[in-house]
Each structure stands twice: as C-alpha cells, then as structure tokens.
C-alpha cells in the first residue's frame, strides 16, 4: 500500500464490487501477473445468483447459493470491506461511505445492477406479506419455495419487468419449476398460473420462443404479452398490469401468490460520477462494447451488469468479458495496444422442468451463438443442460470462474 496526499490508500488496480464480475476479473488479473489489485466489496457473503432460481423453485437448498466472501476472494488480492459512494475520475479516487478515499492507477467498475422494489407502488409491501415472493433476492427466493410448494389451488401470478434486467428470462424459471412440481403432485389443473411479460414473445429468439411456448401450453399457463406490473394492492391481493407507457388500458388480476421481479437500473450513486451514459439510456457505465474501456477516461473499465455494453446482462456474458478486460488492461499497463474484443455473447438457461433446460445462447442482437459451433441443439429442451445448469456450472463458478480460470 502507498499513501498519497489526497487519499488514504492507493492501489494499482481498484475493482468496485466483488460479485461475479469483480472476483473473476481480479483472479484473471493476478493470473496475468498484474500486481496490487484491490476489490472493494461490503458483503460478507458472496452470492451465486443463478442458483436463486433453483432455490425459489425447490431444486436446490439455499446454502448452494452462497459462500463466505473471504473464502472466494482470489489469492493475492486485497479486500477492502466497504461500500463505494462516489468516483472522481479526474482525481483518480473512489470515495467510501466511511468518508475515506482510495486512489487508483486503473479502475474497474462492476457494482452490479440495482433492484428497485419501490418503483412499483405497493410492490415492496406485497413482498413483505406472506404472499409475495421472488427469485431476485436471496431471502425472497428462500421464502418462495416455502410458499410455492404449499399451493394447492387459486391463482399464482408471475411478472417480468420491462427495461434493463439481469438475466431477464430468469423471471420465468421458478414458474416452470413450480408447474412441474404441481403436475407431479396432481394439483396443476386446480391452479390458475398467469405470466406477465413486457415483450410480444416469451424471449425474443424464434427457436427459444417455440420451446417455451410448448412448455407454457403443456402447463396451461395464461400469458399476458406486452404488459408490465404497474401497481400492487397487497391488502386486497390484486395487481394492475398495463402496456408500457399507457395508463388507460389497465387490467386488474387477483392473486393468491405473487412472484414478482422488480424493475432494475444502474446503482443510483453512479450517474453522478461523469462515467455513465444518459439516464434515459439506463445510466450504466459508458464503455466501448468491444474493449470494455471507458471512451473518455482511459484508466477506467467496466463490465458485468453495471456496464452499458450492448449485450444482454448475464454471468455467461462475463465469462467472455472478464478475459477480454483483463487481457486488455494488462496490455494497457505495458503500453501495448489492446489485444482482445468482446463478441457480445450472452446466455439464459431456461429451467423448464425439474429435470430439463432450454439453453439460450445468443449475441447482442439475439442471434443464435452456440458454444458448440454450428450445433443449435442446446436450444432444445434437454436433460443434459439441466445437469450443466444445476450441477456443473455452479461447480465451475465456485472453483474456476471466481479464480479467473474459466
Ligand atoms: C435470479 C437471477 C438468476 C440469474 N440466472 C442466471 C443464469 O442462469 N445464468 C447467467 O449467466 N446469469 C444469471 N444471472 C445473472 C448473473 O447473476 C449476473 O449477470 C452477474 O451476477 C453479474 O455480475 P456482476 O458482478 O456485474 O454483479 P453482481 O454479481 O450482482 O455483483 C455486484 C457486487 O457489487 C457489490 N456492490 C454493490 N454496490 C456496491 C458499492 N456501492 N460498493 C462496493 N460494492 C458494491 C455487491 O455487493 C455485489 O457483490 C441471474 C441473476 C439473477 C438475479
């Protein structure tokens, strides 16, 4: 550690956020022999969010989604256990909520996406009631399975928000898991299941939509397309849905259980930093989508859910992004030209039953981008991809991805 005049601590590379992006890029930088890397992360527990869907749908125990942060911090990386509340890119400093400053030579911004439970009137209240659940927060996901497994009749509504979202299709996963469970229990026909999606199709890729539509028909799910949740009355247990931007044509639905995913945005302290795109474009950190470097501050980089890169936000996207960013930053430190470009790859594994997945792999224009070249078969419902999603990828995440090895 060095001590500067305007800040208490200096590090060569400072990473804001020790989630999927922060730890895996830190691990890669250490592998590429970059010294003095620090991660600023306030949470004691690291969360593997893709597992939240399995927790909510009852195909994984809650413990499978979390490990102590200290146990997954890559070797040789300093952990600053603190929350960032500002960045001054001209002074090359990051301010912590404690009032301290950390200065940097290179900065990587990856604090994830913000889940705005207050953005829909009544939603927060509904989530605090016994009938509101979600896979988008660890606590709500644990509650979700307790509630879903007890349902024997009535109406269960699942909602997916409009606007930017992390792994948007994940909103649907607990629904398919629950329907399969209810079918096995012999009660599916007694339950009205309604899905509200903001888009005119279930996902946006014809081959994936066809698979999901087949499952939706199989389970007897009613879909409200091009609609979003605009208001919840937690006391009456009703929601209002409407087409985006319209107030006139609202539909009221009564629910017994509401599984909701909140609107999402850039963390609210980011737009004040001069690093972000306009709020009407989401307010995320401006980056060149190919190099992941900031277009105006060459010592600032961003990746993951907080970056305004063109791709669909997911952990799968990060597997490509961390390699590109780490190699480019290591080259920049040596004064070399940036060697890597990100190809826009992203992924959404739709868990469509308790033993099968439809594995969507696509680029930043939702064109198929299969990992196994020319083989689009993973986009069909398969048991193999369920095993990959539920067992193989979590192992790879904890043991390789977070160490910067995959
Ligand atoms: C329910 C759900 C299911 C998903 N399923 C899949 C899936 O099946 N496949 C897939 O590929 N992706 C999936 N994703 C998406 C994937 O989890 C994210 O894309 C990925 O975690 C993004 O990584 P990140 O590091 O950008 O953000 P995160 O992993 O969210 O990490 C951000 C970190 O920054 C920290 N932080 C926040 N604010 C500050 C601050 N002010 N100062 C310092 N630190 C801060 C947070 O504590 C957190 O640790 C899913 C996401 C959810 C929510």
The model's pLDDT over 143-188, given as tens digits with 9 standing for 90+, comes to 999 999 999 999 999 999 999 999 999 999 999 999 999 999 999 9
What local confidence, expressed as pLDDT, does residue 371 receive? Answer: 86
Q: Identify whether 152 is part of a domain.
A: yes
Any domain includes 23: yes
Query: Could you tell me if 124 and 254 lie in one domain?
Result: yes
Q: For ligand 1, is residue 20 a contact (CB within 6 Å)?
A: yes
- The reported pLDDT for the residue numbered 246 is 61
Q: How far is the CA of 377 from the centre of ligand 1 (A)?
A: 28
pTM of the model: 0.96
Residue in the block written with tokens 């195909």? 59
> What domain range is 272 assigned to?
9-42+81-113+266-344
Alpha-carbon distance of 250 to 203, in angstroms, equals 23
275-323, pLDDT tens digit by residue? 999 988 889 999 999 999 999 999 999 999 999 999 999 999 999 999 9
Question: So what's the pLDDT on residue 377?
Answer: 79
Distances (CA, A) of 180 to 57, 97, 175, 359, 387: 10, 45, 9, 18, 17
Q: Measuring from atom 7 of ligand 1, which residue has the nearest CA? A: 50
Atom of ligand 1 nearest to the CA of 115: 53
In a 3-state reduction of DSSP, which class is residue 249?
Answer: coil
The atom of ligand 1 lying closest to the CA of 17 is 34
- Point out the ligand 1 atom lying closest to the alpha carbon of residue 269: 41
* pLDDT tier at 3, thresholds 50, 70, 90: very low
Last residue of a domain, one of 246, 263, 280: 263
Residue 5's pLDDT is what? 41
Q: What is the CATH number of the domain that holds 85?
A: 3.50.50.60
What's the 20 CA to ligand 1 centre distance in angstroms? Answer: 6
Is 387 a member of any domain? no
pLDDT at residue 67, rounded to an integer: 98
Whose Cα sits closest to atom 49 in ligand 1? 19
CA of 113 to the centre of ligand 1 (A): 7
Share of the chain above pLDDT 70, in %: 97
Dist. CA 305 → ligand 1 center (Å): 7
**Residue 6 pLDDT > 80:** no
Same domain, 109 and 189: no
Residue range 381-402: average pLDDT?
97
Same domain? For 137 and 205 the reply is yes
Q: Is the pLDDT of residue 2 over 70?
A: no
Asked whether residue 212 is assigned to any structural domain, the reply reads: yes
- The β-bridge relationship of strands 93-96 and 101-109 is antiparallel
Q: In the predicted model, is pLDDT for residue 111 greater than 90?
A: yes
Q: Which atom of ligand 1 is nearest to the CA of 347?
A: 11
Q: What is the pLDDT of residue 281?
A: 83
HEC per residue, 269-307: CHHHHCCECCHHHCCCECCCCCCCECCCCCCEEECHHHE
156 & 185 share domain: yes
Query: How, if at all, do strands 300-302 and 101-109 pair?
Result: parallel
Strand partners, 87: 94
Which is the closest atom of ligand 1 to the Cα of 85? 41
Cβ–ligand 1 distance for 22 under 6 Å, the answer yes
Whole-number pLDDT of residue 141: 98
Residue 229 pLDDT more than 50? yes
User: Has residue 135 got a pLDDT over 50?
Assistant: yes
186 and 294 belong to one structural domain: no
* Mean pLDDT score across all residues of the chain: 95
Q: What pLDDT shows up at residue 248?
A: 64
pLDDT value, residue 70: 97
pLDDT over threshold 50, residue 1? no
Number of domains in the chain: 2
Residues 182 and 238 in one domain: yes
In three-state secondary structure terms, 351 is strand
Residue closest by Cα to atom 30 of ligand 1:
112
Q: Which two tokens stand for residue 115?
A: 């889940």
**In sequence order, what are the residues at sequence separation of 6 or more whose Cβ sits closer than 8 angstroms to the Cβ of residue 11?**
1, 36, 37, 38, 78, 102, 103, 104, 105
Task: Judge whether 356 lies within some domain.
Answer: no
If you take atom 53 of ligand 1, which residue's CA is the nearest one?
136
Kindly report the protein residue whose alpha carbon is nearest to atom 48 of ligand 1: 19
Q: Indicate whether residue 21 lines ligand 1 (CB < 6 A).
A: yes
Q: What share of the chain is helix, strand, coil (3-state, %, to 5)?
A: 35, 25, 40
Examine the pLDDT at 128 and tell me if it is beyond 60. Answer: yes
Q: pLDDT per residue over 337-381, tens digit each? A: 999 999 999 999 999 999 999 999 999 999 999 988 767 778 999
Residue 123 Cα, ligand 1 centroid: separation in angstroms? 22
Question: Closest ligand 1 atom to the C-alpha of 22?
Answer: 25
Mutate to test the pocket of ligand 1, among 15, 16, 17 (most ligand atoms within 8 A of CB): 17
Name the token pair of 177.
């898991």
Let me know whether 237 and 304 are in one domain: no
Q: Is the CB of 135 under 6 A from ligand 1?
A: yes
pLDDT-derived band of residue 247, with 50, 70 and 90 as boundaries?
low
């Amino acid at each position: 550690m060095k001590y500067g005049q305007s800040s208490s601590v200096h590090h060569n590379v400072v990473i804001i956020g020790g989630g999927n992006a922060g730890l895996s890029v830190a691990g890669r930088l250490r592998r590429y022999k970059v010294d003095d890397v620090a991660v600023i992360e306030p949470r004691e527990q690291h969360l593997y969010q893709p597992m939240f869907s399995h927790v909510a749908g009852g195909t994984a125990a809650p413990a499978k989604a979390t490990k102590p942060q200290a146990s997954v911090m890559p070797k040789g990386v300093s952990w600053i256990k603190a929350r960032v509340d500002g960045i001054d890119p001209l002074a090359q400093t990051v301010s912590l909520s404690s009032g301290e400053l950390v200065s940097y030579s290179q900065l990587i911004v990856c604090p994830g996406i913000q889940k705005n439970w207050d953005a829909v009137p009544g939603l927060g209240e509904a989530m605090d009631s016994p009938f509101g659940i979600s896979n988008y927060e660890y606590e709500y996901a644990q509650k979700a399975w307790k509630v879903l497994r007890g349902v024997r009749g009535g109406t269960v509504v699942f909602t997916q928000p409009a606007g930017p979202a992390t792994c948007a299709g994940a909103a649907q996963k607990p629904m398919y898991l629950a329907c399969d469970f209810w079918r096995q229990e012999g009660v599916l026909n007694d339950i009205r299941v309604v899905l509200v999606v903001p888009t005119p199709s279930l996902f946006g890729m014809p081959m994936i939509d066809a698979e999901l539509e087949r499952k939706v028909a199989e389970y007897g799910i009613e879909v409200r397309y091009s609609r979003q949740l605009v208001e919840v009355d937690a006391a009456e247990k009703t929601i209002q849905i409407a087409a985006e931007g319209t107030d006139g044509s609202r539909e009221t639905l009564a629910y017994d259980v509401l599984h909701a995913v909140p609107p999402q945005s850039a963390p609210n302290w980011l737009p004040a930093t001069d690093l972000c795109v306009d709020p009407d474009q989401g307010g995320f950190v401006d980056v060149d989508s190919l190099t992941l470097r900031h277009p105006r501050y060459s010592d600032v980089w961003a990746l993951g859910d907080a970056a305004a890169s063109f791709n669909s936000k997911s952990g799968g996207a990060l597997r490509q992004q961390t390699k590109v960013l780490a190699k480019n930053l290591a080259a920049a430190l040596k004064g070399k030209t940036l060697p890597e470009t990100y190809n826009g790859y992203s992924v959404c594994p739709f868990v469509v039953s308790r033993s099968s997945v439809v594995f969507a792999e696509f680029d930043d224009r939702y064109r198929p981008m299969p990992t196994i070249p020319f083989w689009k078969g993973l986009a069909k419902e398969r048991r193999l991809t369920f095993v990959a999603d539920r067992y193989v990828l979590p192992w790879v995440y904890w043991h390789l991805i977070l160490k910067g090895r995959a």
